[in-house]
Structure 1
Amino acid sequence: MNNAAARAAGLVAIAFAGLTTGSGITTAGLHQAMTVSAALLVAVASAAGIRTAAVVS
């Protein structure tokens, strides 16, 4: 399962890299791709780390 998830995530990352860098590979495009990647990493890490508190009776 982990191998399949890692492969799928890699394919999605490569597909979106072309969208974020633009039509050509430039310094500005790479900076934009790094910014988008960092924002997505923070969003996913935040979503994984936020959990509802357990109800203690």
Structure 2
Amino acid sequence: MSKILGLDLGTNSIGWAIRDTQTSNENQIIDFGVIVFKKGVGDGKSGEFSLAAERRGK
């Protein structure tokens, strides 16, 4: 079986799908999904701030 892994790399997420290219019908997708990450910045009164800087005490 020949399979292809497709990835969609976003800023806060990764999407993925696995295709079986030897399947002759229209439905070649075996499985798919997405992983969503938390934002790397926080929202404050003066705008966004780095959560890593806050954790490091800066």
TM over 0.5: no
Structure with higher RCO (Cα < 8 A, 6+ apart): 2
TM-score normalized by structure 1?
A: 0.27
Point out the structure with max Rg over C-alpha.
Answer: 2
More strand by share: 2
TM-score normalized by structure 2?
A: 0.26
